[in-house]
Structure 1
Amino acid sequence: METLSPRTNRKFKDIGYYAEQQSNYFLLPFRFHRLNDDKEVLVNEVGDHLVVPLGTAGRIIQRQLSIEEDADLYGDLVAGFFIAEQEVPALIDVLATRYRTKKSFLDQFTSLHLFVITLRCEHTCHYCQVSRVTTNKDEFDMRYEHINKGIELMLQSPSDYLTMEFQGGEALLAFDKIVYAIERTKPLAAKLEKQVTYVICTNLAVLDEDILAYCKTNNVLLSTSLDGPGFIHNQNRRRPGNNSYELTIKGIELARKWLGTGNLSALMTTTNLSLDHPTEIVDEYFQQGFRSIFLRPVSPYGFALKNEKKNKYEIERFINFYKKALHHILDYNKRGEFFREEYATIILKKILTPFPVGYVDLNSPAGAITNVILFNYDGAVYASDESRMLAESGDFTFRLGHLDTDTYGDIFYGEKAQALSEVMVNETLPGCSECAFQSYCGADPVHNHATQGSVWGYRPTSTFCQKNMELIRYLIELMDGDPQTRQIFEGWISQRRAS
């Protein structure tokens, strides 16, 4: 009778097992992940990665490397802080400095402050996450006393560089309130020696030259939405006359005339209709003069969930859409054009550089509170824009306080903020703590709560996790398999065209 080999278990060995191992090197903290059928990737504590043949991690851990026979690999592992020849590496302070640099986005705390200046809007976008109201209901505009208190709290931030972003509804329907807020902020910020960047999120439908003249004089940036060609954009973003696309394109041209190309950005949202047209969407952005595109799925919050037929899809479908669009973008670059995908660029900065990024969804601790705060039109204060979206559906889990009653300390350091801080660090979350891509990813308790009913989340079924793990893996695989693609990606980071 055939004898079965003993089953290998995955339990942790006792510390004595490792102490008894005879080896010429010591292990430093690193994680690993299968890249494909032939290779795996090792990632150290500061995000340096090394692509190696499948099974290499096991050989390293089991002390099977030979200095003579594996000289090149051994040298790379030592130089990359995966292993060390002394129990405490001589350059441990360098590793500590690099780790501190990766987390330096925490140094000045909250920089982005969102002001929901109105809920009024003349669009009825089917993926809108908030409870918009008709254009005549100005009681849903932010009150002056709430604007004043929001500015006061914003200027108490330790950060010397602040962003004041006005959202809606359609923010330009309350342009008088925006002007008031900017004019009040300018002298106060100058007195405190703080630099403030002003941004208006707008669909451009009500944009005119008087608004643009003010924006030009005061260096106000515009952010808009463009979901693709007209047949996609007009289906996604409904308005009377079914001419949202036409007004958006007209607004883009007018804004560029007044402000220049660099002061207007656009975002797209992927709906079920979008999933079938990745190349057309990419082409639309390029043809409209944009040299970047941010491919993002529908947010699983608020009223966007009510239209499941148009907005609900499996995350695998978005990943396939993303990959097709990414390859089309790479084709533009291989023809000599500079054109980048913004989400990939954010991830690539975390993979290829020692510096932090300001994108709140991929930060640990999470960007909610630490990087961004939101002042709602009614004076309520939320941990993020997504938190506000949940509140519009009656879920106030992430409401931190109110401008009428709470101080800066109450909001930023109160019991709610402290409770959230426990689930904002992916280094301590089950499933994240041992993930190879931990240093490239983030923690998102709002997404966890909205999709899984727990701020802690459950990684095996998390769409946030599924999306990021596959996209990170895929970007590393693309770089490893094609030097030209790696050169293009490096150009995206440095904003230069690949040669």
Structure 2
Amino acid sequence: MAGFAAADSFSPVKSDLQLLPIRFERLGADRFLVGNMVGDMAEMTAAELDRLCALDLAPGDGLYERAFENLFVGSTEQRAQQQLLALRLRSRLSFLRAATPLHLFVVTLRCEHSCPYCQVSRQSKDRVRYDMDQATASKAIDIALSAPAPLIKIEFQGGEPLLNFELIRWIVVTAKQRAAPLSKRLQFVVATNLALLSDEVLDFSAEHDILFSTSLDGPRDLHNKNRPRRGDNSYELAIAGIARIKDRLGPDKVGALMTTTEASLDRVEAIVDEYLKQGLDGIFLRPLSPYGFAMKTKQFQKYRGTDWLQFWKRGLRYILDVNKSGRRFPEFYSSLIVRRMLSDEPIGYVDLRSPAGIGLGALVYNYDGTVFASDEARMLAEMGDRSFELGTVHEHSYRELVLSDTLVSAVANSLTQTAPQCSTCVFEPNCGADPVYHHATQQDLLGIKPLSEFCQRQKGVITHLFELLEHSPEDAAILRRWAS
């Protein structure tokens, strides 16, 4: 029998190394966050970073293996590392193959709530001229079904969409009829405050497998303060509606969103407890957006990005401790970011995409037939800025809308991989682009990043999650379960 080869035959082959594209950010006096172009990150000391950049590495020294594992270096004699980077980048961008899966129908601007942070500049419930009509809806359905995505999600927005429930009923039935010969799958969601939820709505929803999204800002006093209506019973109606949907349709048919106002900042534990009390499957600790009444009533200016970051960190700590007690209850934004950090799976959440999700991720059909690149773009238009208006359902096709100069320019300017300041940022692969936000706050599609609260929030969130993944094994295990 032939003998075994000598041990040194199995040692790594020594060859010339080359540095692959990396970025880094200082975390502390002698701590750096180093990343590659597909979001892999590692912590290094200044000495280790110097050695990496100088390619002062040798098999067996630890840093050599970490550098290869994280695709920071490759061999000059083979292209395996570069090819792997290219494959992973293609996977991250694969959402482009199934463009525009989400279509938002603003069936009315009317609403019986008067929320001071309302982003859509709602109208009083008697103003029926702000309702979408059937002819407009018909054109919007045809455009939505023209999108390449095999699964089309139609979300009904307002105002309060249940004020125009008859149109919702007609859209659902008509869209199903038209989708069948196209082999398109459909999903329907109603974004509602639940105040007008009726047995008729529930019966129709059960028949057509309709999902619901609602707002729940916290305990009774906080919710009713944030979301006032005549009768001071917004909370009671929302809670009753959530319970009715669960009972009639099932526990997975309703989700809730909260919006962080100034009054929320010192009450995150009570807000989380309310979600737990109502049996909801998680929470999204969402900041205010700079649109609609949130600007007119100056709600957006009442706290800064750093205030929200502290609110989010405190809330995440509380939520992680809840999970340690045995109840699975994710913070959804954290789970999205962690999934982005740990996998190359394309993200459905448009704010974490580059190029930006506007138009490519969603189209919005306003009550009057005007088409916008995103819901935020529609909100901006209600404030008088129509920079992201793409056309109308009465005059334009899907192809004309997504290839319009307005959308092409916005998408081109949102490509963070080549954008100044983003292209050299260690957070870029796990971040995203939000040209509508930056236009609204800075009158610049790309945004001046050092002055951007979007940028500040993203850096703070990603850094904090990285620290937990690297240095807190118990927290890391929970975060990984959320992401999976």
TM range (shorter): over 0.9
The more displaced of 88-97 and 133-142 is 88-97
Q: Report the CA distance between 1:454 and its aligned residue.
A: 1.1
Tell me if the contact between 2:143 and 2:398 (Cα under 8 Å) persists in the aligned partners. yes
Residue of structure 2 in register with 1:112 after alignment: 102
| AA at the equivalent of 1:488 | I
Letter in 2 for 1:172: L
Selected match of 1:325 from 297, 315, 319:
315
Q: Which runs of 5+ in 1 are unaligned?
A: 1-22, 495-499
1:34 pairs, out of 16, 26, 42, with 26
SS in 2 for 1:419: helix
2:116 to 126, 129, 138: 126
Alignment of 1:212 with 2:193, yes or no, is no
8 Å contact from structure 2 (residues 290, 300) kept in 1: no
Q: Which position in structure 1 is the counterpart of 2:402?
A: 412
SS of structure 1 residue aligned to 2:437: helix
The residue number in structure 2 matching 1:277 is: 267
Q: What is the letter of the counterpart of residue 301 of structure 1?
A: Y
Q: CA deviation at 1:102?
A: 0.9
Mean Cα displacement is larger for which, 120-129 or 51-60? 51-60
TM-score by length of 1: 0.92
> Are residue 221 (structure 1) and residue 221 (structure 2) matched?
no
Number of residues paired by the alignment?
470
d(CA) in 1 for partners of 2:26 and 2:248?
50
> Are positions 1:433 and 2:426 aligned together?
no
Aligned partners of 1:472, 1:407: CA distance in 2, in Å? 39
Scaled by the length of structure 2, the TM-score of the pair is: 0.94
**CA-based RMSD:** 1.4
- Structure 2 distance, partners of 1:462, 1:55, is 31
**Which one of the candidate residues 449, 456, 464 is aligned to 1:459?**
449
Hey, which bits of structure 1, 4+ residues long, moved more than 4 A? none
- CA drift of 1:52 comes to 2.7
- Give 3-state SS (helix, strand or coil) of 1:35's partner: strand
User: Unaligned stretches of 5+ in structure 2?
Assistant: 1-14
Task: Confirm or deny: 8 A CA contact 1:110 1:372 kept in the other structure.
Answer: yes
SS at match of 2:390: strand
SS in 2 for 1:308: coil
| Partner-residue secondary structure (3-state), 1:268 | strand
Q: Corresponding residue for 1:391? A: 381
Q: Identify the residue that residue 5 of structure 1 maps to in structure 2.
A: none
Rounded Cα–Cα distance in structure 2 between residues aligned with 1:127 and 1:401: 28
**Residue deviations 1:226-280, cap 9 Å, x none?**
0000111000001001110011101111111111111100000000000111111
Aligned 8 A contact 2:289 2:300 in 1: no
Contact 1:270 1:298 in 2 (8 A): yes
Partner of 2:174: 184
1:93 equivalent to 2:80? Answer: no
In structure 2, distance between residues paired with 1:115 and 1:27: 49
Deviation string 1:318-351 (CA, Å, 9 cap, x unpaired) is 1011100000001101111111100001000010
Return the offset for 1:63. Answer: 2.7
Match of 2:12 in 1: none
Task: Tell me if structure 1 keeps the 8 A contact 2:117–2:299.
Answer: no
Cα deviation digits, residues 52-93 of structure 1 (max 9, x gap): 33442222112333435x2x2211211331101225433533
Matched with 1:78 is 68
C-alpha separation between the residues in 1 aligned to 2:300 and 2:424?
A: 36
Q: Quick one: distance in 2 between partners of 1:148 and 1:420? A: 28
SS in 1 for 2:195: coil
Counterpart residue number, 2:296: 306
Residues 227, 236 of structure 1: 8 Å contact kept = yes
Query: Which amino acid in structure 2 is aligned with residue 284 of structure 1?
Result: E
> Which residue pairs with 2:435 in the alignment?
445
Q: Does structure 2 conserve the Cα–Cα contact (< 8 Å) formed by 1:298 and 1:311?
A: no
Shift of 1:187: 1.3
C-alpha separation in 1, matches of 2:265 and 2:144: 39
Cα deviation for residue 431 of structure 1 reads: 1.1
Per-residue deviation at 1:42? Answer: 1.9
